[in-house]
């Protein structure tokens, strides 16, 4: 299974990652609940997240004063700290390669979200790992940074399996099955 050709892996990865954007679009989010898509590939791990702005800063509109602008900028900086937000087994030797964070409303580029009532942050993280097969657990550390975040509903896909998971403040470690 580990030597599954990339051509076979691609359609599988499309399910949660590439197709996720379409699934997310237009769907009303729930405050306190973030969504996470995780793809463990042959040499890298890709994490895509969508988080209601309410869970990050407590509102879903453009910052209105200096304090709110500072809080928004702070949230954006913290969301880019991929190495702190996600911890893998040391044996897998993963390091953060890319962190793409988009939140036009928080950045002051848009007055409100696409549907006017809600706005979210979308983030994609890429980790390069020397040995992704050694990943048995992924600790997700967003709950300490963002106190309003209560739950992460996730989906993981690898060459071995595809699974859904839920993380909370007291259960923040995603354990890979089928190791």
Residue whose beta carbon is closest to Zn ion: 118
Which residue number, 40 or 106, has a Cβ lying nearer to Zn ion? Answer: 106
As measured in angstroms, the least distance from the Cβ of 171 to Zn ion is: 24
**What are residue 153's DSSP bridge partners?**
35, 166
Which residue number, 117 or 139, has a Cβ lying nearer to Zn ion? Answer: 117
Which residue number, 50 or 125, has a Cβ lying nearer to Zn ion? Answer: 50
Binding footprint of Zn ion on the chain (CB under 5 A): 52, 60, 118
As measured in angstroms, the least distance from the Cβ of 119 to Zn ion is: 7
Distance CA 110, CA 114 (A): 9
As measured in angstroms, the least distance from the Cβ of 130 to Zn ion is: 39
As measured in angstroms, the least distance from the Cβ of 29 to Zn ion is: 5
105-109, long-range: CB < 8 A, 24+ apart: 105/53, 105/60, 105/61, 105/62, 106/53, 106/56, 106/57, 106/62, 106/63, 106/72, 106/75, 106/76, 107/72, 107/76, 108/62, 108/63, 108/69, 108/72
Which residue number, 44 or 112, has a Cβ lying nearer to Zn ion? Answer: 112
């Amino acid at each position: 299974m580990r030597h599954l050709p990339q051509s076979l892996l691609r359609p599988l990865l499309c399910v949660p990652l590439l197709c996720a954007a379409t699934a997310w679009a237009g769907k009303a989010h729930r405050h306190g609940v973030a969504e996470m898509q995780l793809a463990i590939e042959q040499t890298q791990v890709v994490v895509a997240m969508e988080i209601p702005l309410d869970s990050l800063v407590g509102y879903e509109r453009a910052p209105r004063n200096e304090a709110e602008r500072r809080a928004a900028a702070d949230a954006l900086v913290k969301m880019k700290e991929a190495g702190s937000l996600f911890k893998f087994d040391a044996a897998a030797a993963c390091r953060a390669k890319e962190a793409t964070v988009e939140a036009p409303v928080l950045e002051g580029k848009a007055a409100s979200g696409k549907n006017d009532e809600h706005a979210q942050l979308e983030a994609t993280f890429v980790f390069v790992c020397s040995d992704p097969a050694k990943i048995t657990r992924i600790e997700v550390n967003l709950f300490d940074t963002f106190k309003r975040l209560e739950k992460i509903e996730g989906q993981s896909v690898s060459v071995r399996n595809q699974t859904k998971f839920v993380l909370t403040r007291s259960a923040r470690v995603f354990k890979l099955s089928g190791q």
